Amino acid sequence: MEKFERIERKLIAKGTIVDYYHDIIRVPNGNVVTWDFIGNKGAAAVIPVMEDGKIIMVRQYRNAIERETLEIPAGGLDFPGEPTKDAAVRELEEETGYKSDNIEFLISIKTTVAFCNENIDIYVAKNLMPSKQNLDEDEFIHVESYDVEELCKMIYEGKIEDSKTVAAIMSYKNKYL
């Protein structure tokens, strides 16, 4: 295995969701290079499955791509080390207005391994019970529901491109259907 050595990590900018760094790295041939690194405290997501098998999705505007997306509910950890199941439970209720007493781990993904350490643990929630949506002041979310085949069709048509959602829906279909 080739050896890479991080010599230094310089904080360039601290954000509300991510921190941007320059990593100074010695690569296997001895050269010293600068690589971008985005630090993220992690996130959790959840596939809420209704009694009829439909999946609850959230539609919201995403500034980075300047349009609305259709996604599974998700959100960042409130603090480093927060149990991701706790975050998934919180995001389920906040974004969809449902609670669940049946939440099971599905998969863990690294979203952008080339320059970011973001990890998202994805759960499946069943036995949904109506509660109250509790959005942040900057969140404008519309709740919709679809069957898995509709969601897969939207994935293949390029209508759903969010990586956590694609991974979650395909993994759920493979494991449960």
Question: Mind telling me the catalytic residues?
Answer: 137
Sign of CA dihedral 151, 154, 158, 159: negative
Rounded Cα–Cα distance for residues 139 and 50 (Å): 23
What whole-number distance in Å separates Cα of residue 174 and Cα of residue 151? 13
CB 120 within 8 A of CB 42: yes
Question: How remote is the C-alpha of 78 from its chain's centroid?
Answer: 14
- 8 A C-beta contact, residue 143 and residue 133: yes
β-strand partners of 125: 48, 103
